[in-house]
């Protein structure tokens, strides 16, 4: 497959050669969705539009756990488990994702302008608030903060946080089981979800949290046992695209991409109701898949595109994948 033999793509390097310390070199290698059937591109209601393995020798790179993509699909924004911002341009060939360029990284700062450290640095969720402001969720030290990084994201090196409301009982969550999924709502609302159900074996909870304080609504969502909820993206229709992840050493990675429609959300307001999402596609261990934690939507070549990003946990046995799909009905 022609696109799968593209040479590795390089962006500017961060090294001791006088270049800006924020710049970072990323090598992008094209990958097939099905390693044993490179021409196959369908995954349920998703159609593959290119994917990459991202690598870098920069020690800051990796652990990317949340993703945002500009509306036109030209730029990405991500946050990491070690408290870094990443921005980059996305490169396409006739709508096919081929690489990244102009990558930059910066420390995520605390209120005193210092980098978050230790248990305070583990960023997990990301959601736009409008006008260049973004909500970021953290686990271990569970909290949600707002950063004003600008519409062009040029403020990642200097932005200071302000606190945002979080779901009730967040302080009782296990260290590595905080708010993983966040997505924008309307009228000052953010969708938030923790990775695991509050009670094991019971439905997951998704909250609508108002940035001014208080819960607008909570919903019970059926998720297969053993799957964790890792990301939320919001469609223009008001539907939620939710990423559900499963991993065991014996089985490997399985990931479900599901949709919760506005009608299902309306029905889910009833006490005791449980939402059953519609499955758009499911990754199995024989596919190109890893620990997919980031999801974002954009429009590329007139198509609604879903971008997925994996967290390699800084583990050499894992990969940082950036995958692109068209959503077809």
CATH assignment of the domain containing 79: 2.115.10
Assessment of whether the complete model's pTM goes beyond 0.95? no
pLDDT of residue 52: 99
Number of H helices, E strands in the chain: 1, 22
Confidence class of residue 329 from pLDDT cuts 50, 70 and 90? Answer: confident
Q: Report how many domains make up the chain.
A: 1
Confidence of residue 16 (pLDDT cuts 50, 70, 90): very low
- How does pLDDT run across 125-166, given as a tens digit for each residue? 999 999 999 999 999 999 999 999 999 999 999 999 999 999
Return d(Cα 124, Cα 144) in angstroms, integer. 10
- Name the residue among 207, 69, 176, 75 with its Cα closest to residue 127: 69
Task: Identify the helix (H) or strand (E) that includes residue 263.
Answer: helix 262-267
pLDDT band at 20 (very low <50, low <70, confident <90, very high): low
**46-55 and 42-43 strand pairing:** antiparallel
Task: Tell me the C-alpha distance between 208 and 183, whole Å.
Answer: 10
For residues 150 and 163, the answer to whether their CB atoms sit within 8 Å is no
The residue segments making up the domain with residue 17 are: 2-327
**Mean pLDDT, all residues of the chain:** 92
């Amino acid at each position: 497959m022609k696109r799968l033999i593209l040479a590795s793509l390089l962006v500017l390097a961060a090294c001791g050669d006088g270049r800006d310390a924020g710049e970072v070199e990323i090598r992008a290698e094209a990958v097939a969705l099905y390693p044993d059937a490179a021409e196959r591109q369908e995954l349920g209601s998703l159609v593959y539009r290119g994917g990459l393995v991202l690598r870098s020798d920069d020690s800051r790179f990796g652990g990317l756990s949340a993703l945002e993509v500009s509306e036109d699909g030209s730029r990405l924004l991500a946050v990491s488990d070690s408290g870094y911002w990443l921005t980059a341009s996305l490169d396409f060939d006739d709508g096919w994702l081929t690489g990244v360029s102009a990558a930059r990284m910066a420390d995520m700062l605390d209120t005193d302008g210092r980098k978050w450290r230790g248990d305070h640095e583990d960023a997990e969720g990301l959601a736009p608030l409008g006008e260049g402001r973004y909500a970021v969720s953290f686990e271990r030290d569970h909290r949600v903060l707002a950063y004003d990084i600008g519409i062009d994201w040029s403020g990642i090196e200097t932005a200071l946080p302000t606190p945002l409301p979080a779901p009730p009982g967040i302080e009782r969550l296990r260290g590595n089981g905080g708010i993983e999924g966040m997505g924008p709502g309307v009228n000052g609302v953010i969708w938030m979800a923790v990775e695991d159900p509050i009670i094991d074996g019971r439905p997951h909870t998704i909250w609508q949290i108002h940035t001014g304080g208080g819960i607008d609504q909570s919903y019970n969502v059926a998720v297969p046992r053993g799957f964790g909820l890792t990301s939320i993206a919001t469609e223009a229709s008001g539907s939620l695209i939710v990423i559900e992840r499963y991993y065991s050493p014996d089985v490997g990675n399985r990931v479900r991409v599901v949709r919760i429609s506005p009608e299902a959300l309306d029905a889910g307001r009833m006490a005791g109701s449980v939402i059953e999402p519609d499955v758009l596609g499911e990754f199995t261990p024989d596919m190109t898949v890893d620990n997919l934690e980031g999801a974002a939507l954009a429009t590329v070549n007139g198509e609604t595109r879903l971008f997925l990003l994996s967290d390699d946990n800084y583990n050499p046995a894992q990969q940082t994948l950036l995958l692109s799909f068209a959503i077809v009905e």
